[in-house]
Amino acid sequence: MKRLVCVLLFLSALVGVSGQPVSSGDVPFIGAQVFIEPGQRAEQVDGWFRTMADQGMTVCRIRMFESYMHTGERWDFGLFDRAFDAAAKYGVKVYGTFFPRTDRTDIGGWKFPNDRQQLESFGCYVDAVVSHFKDHPALKGWVLINEPGIGELPQTPYVAAARAAWEECNPQPDLSPKGYPVLVTLDDCAFLKDLNSEFLEWISRRIRRQDTQHDIHVNTHAIFSNCAQYDFPRWRSFLTSLGGSAHAAWHFGYFDREDYALAMLANSEMIRSGSGSLPWLMTELQGGNNTYSGMAALCPTPAEIAQWLWVVLGTEGKGAIFWMLNPRHSGLEAGEWAMLDFQDRPTARLEAAGGVARAIAAHADLLAGLKEVPSGVDVLYFRESLWAEQHFAVAEDRYAGRREGAVMKSALSCFRALTECGLNVGLKEASEYDFTRDDYSGCSLVLSGQFCIPASFRQSLEHFVSCGGTLFIEGLSLYFDEYVQLALGAESDYADLLGASLSEYVLRQDLFRVETGGLALPCHLWQGTFEASDEPMHVHAYGRGKVVWLPSAVALGAWQSGDYGPLSSLLLEELARDRSAVSFATHCPGVLMRTLSHGQDRVLVCMNKSGDPVQLRVKGLDAMKRSTEIYRFGEGSFRGGELTLGPESVLVIHVGR
């Protein structure tokens, strides 16, 4: 066990998997979780799959409870055979989620085994399930384990042995390369990231012993807080698709309800970036009431169901699966989350999902293989900044900037300010960005509130700017290196790139204003001052590109004040964009749009969460002379470049030459 982690660290980049059942060219699908448990009648189960087929749902997910199929030495798959057979009868494909035996009160499943004995028991369970169902015509793929990602590592023999092996491969130096003592380490977080990857890869290899054809998938969750545990580039070596759980009730605590569509968009962009060249899908979307479970009680409206689905499809998602179709009868979530009522009748939510499924079927050729039209603008987050925040954050501090969440909120604030201009903005972990190109003309990177950045990224950032890119640096970004040591001191390695020296950060107050370029930007807590200038912002030409440095927390200022207009204006003024980018003529709070390409044509996914009717002009479509409505929920139209949307409406249009 001590050597296992070291071996896997070396081999993970080399181990591949065969089979690619989900293709980027596939027609998107809508589906739902069918919850299988003892006590259900055969006609009930048959009826659920018939209802799915009636609503155009072609994919389901089934949680494969070991406790319902394995007693002592005896395996009995009858409960799940019945469900798989019903799925095949109605043309529904199944993702089977491994759910090893756990406590009766555990609704999410354990994330790591307790010891080697439990690991081997889990392996035997995987062997039994895969060998039994791998040839079933309904099987589409395997979900490795439900929602990897954990708040705090358990103190177990498995974790202790893995940590000892990890530390052998990752010794902690006493001094940094610059000779300063290393007094703060982020090892706990780095170890958890690697442990997640190694356990998931172990499950994948166990599956591939017997099944080399079907999809291997996993669903992230609570991505705005858990993303620092996920090493998506590494996961691509053993997955064939990437997914996520995006439950408003559990996972969108940073947002108010009117911003849940924006939260879904940010969540989707993070998974899209993480998937790389692999297809991605939203493995879980909230389908109904959460009465006693979840963090925020709510029931999605039919409008929200439509909005969330089109957000996923508008970010290249190959499908979305609701949690869930039928209500479970036992446990904490009994009677919750479902899209059927207690009499197994479709709710308005299910019918709304069915309406989207019918639109997809009616325009299958158009919607297969759509790609986002790049704006050239990406907001980067660094997992090291999130790790450092966990170390330094003061849970009950009066200031939001000193509490956990400020790093991600800073990135999300810039993402929002640009997205509400209609731009396709990327949201990427820094290791997911391609720094190998020779020309970054029309490209911009935003570093907002990323206060701990490994020194190794300096050369990548220099290369990006010198090759024509625009780098926007905001707030406390670049404050620390990976050793949590000051990186902006008198001997800063960033001096040439930045073209200026920082004097200090001054704590002002919860909200104040920073004025630059005729704009008065809300700012939270910190204002950076330059050594030889009274200006709040510095612009520096470097190679063929430029750096824009505003060392004051204006992104958090926009988040705290709710006023994104000045930040949006500043970003639009300073950031380079791709010539093909489509956008609004002005900043439109609460209005979202994603632009996708189908050959030379465009598909626009638009929605209005502002609470009021809006009318705005779309830029970048001058060559497009015709438009066709693909889908509409509520009031909306698009004529001659003018977009009109009623409150809560969704409009999807095909624009062509």
What is the CATH number for 246? 3.20.20.80
From the list 287, 421, 438, the residue with the least C-alpha distance to 350 is 287
Give the end of a domain, one of 527, 547, 574.
574
- What is the distance, to the nearest Å, from the Cα of residue 606 to the centroid of all Cα atoms in its chain? 20
Any alpha helices (H) in 17-175, and if so which ranges? 42-54, 78-89, 116-133, 157-169
Which pLDDT score is estimated for 293? Answer: 95
Tokens found for residue 449? 């509130």
Of 65-79, 124-138, 412-426, the range with the lowest mean pLDDT is 65-79
Domain region containing 229: 4-144+194-369
Tokens found for residue 202? 């172990």
Same domain, 390 and 357: no
Residue-wise DSSP of 540-570? EEETTEEEEEE-B-HHHHHHHH---HHHHHH
Reported as half-sphere exposure (CB side, CA atoms, 13 A), residue 276 has a value of 14
Same domain, 250 and 222: yes
Going by their DSSP bridges, the two strands 512-516 and 519-523 should be labelled as antiparallel
Residue with token string 């990327």: 426
Give the end of a domain, one of 522, 550, 574.
574
Tokens found for residue 441? 């003309």
Q: What is the DSSP letter of 343?
A: T
Which pLDDT score is estimated for 13? Answer: 33
Residue 180 lies in a domain: no
Cis peptide before 593 (omega within 30 of 0): no
The model's pLDDT over 247-301, given as tens digits with 9 standing for 90+, comes to: 999 999 999 999 999 999 999 999 999 999 999 999 999 999 999 999 999 999 9
From the list 417, 403, 447, the residue with the least C-alpha distance to 429 is 447
Give the pLDDT band of residue 395 (cuts 50, 70, 90): confident
| C-alpha to C-alpha distance for 588 and 468, rounded to whole angstroms | 29
Which pLDDT score is estimated for 255? Answer: 98
| C-alpha to C-alpha distance for 533 and 503, rounded to whole angstroms | 10
Residue 105 lies in a domain: yes
Q: What is the mean pLDDT of residues 579-598?
A: 96
The model's pLDDT over 336-352, given as tens digits with 9 standing for 90+, comes to: 999 999 999 999 999 99
Tokens found for residue 491? 């001997």
Residue 358 lies in a domain: yes
Same domain, 405 and 348: no
The model's pLDDT over 169-203, given as tens digits with 9 standing for 90+, comes to: 999 999 999 999 999 999 999 999 999 999 999 99
Same domain, 63 and 134: yes
Same domain, 137 and 265: yes
| C-alpha to C-alpha distance for 389 and 228, rounded to whole angstroms | 11
Same domain, 307 and 351: yes
Same domain, 569 and 594: no
Which pLDDT score is estimated for 21? Answer: 60
Going by their DSSP bridges, the two strands 642-645 and 614-619 should be labelled as antiparallel
Give the pLDDT band of residue 18 (cuts 50, 70, 90): very low
Give the pLDDT band of residue 30 (cuts 50, 70, 90): very high
Which pLDDT score is estimated for 338? Answer: 98
The model's pLDDT over 478-533, given as tens digits with 9 standing for 90+, comes to: 999 999 999 998 889 999 999 999 999 999 999 999 999 999 999 999 999 999 89
Same domain, 360 and 385: no
Same domain, 348 and 291: yes
Q: What is the mean pLDDT of residues 454-462?
A: 98
The b/e string for 80-107 (b: 16+ C-beta within 10 A; e otherwise) is beebbbbbbebebbbbbbbbbbeeeeee
Tokens found for residue 451? 């206060």
Give the pLDDT band of residue 8 (cuts 50, 70, 90): very low
Percentage helix, strand, coil, to 5, in the chain? 35, 25, 45
Answer whether 356's CB lies under 8 Å from 349's CB: no
Q: What is the mean pLDDT of residues 573-587?
A: 96
Any alpha helices (H) in 505-625, and if so which ranges? 554-561, 565-574
Residue 164 lies in a domain: no
Same domain, 356 and 382: no
CATH of the domain at 619: 2.60.40.1180
How many domains, the chain?
A: 3
The b/e string for 40-50 (b: 16+ C-beta within 10 A; e otherwise) is beeeebbebbe
- What is the distance, to the nearest Å, from the Cα of residue 399 to the centroid of all Cα atoms in its chain? 26
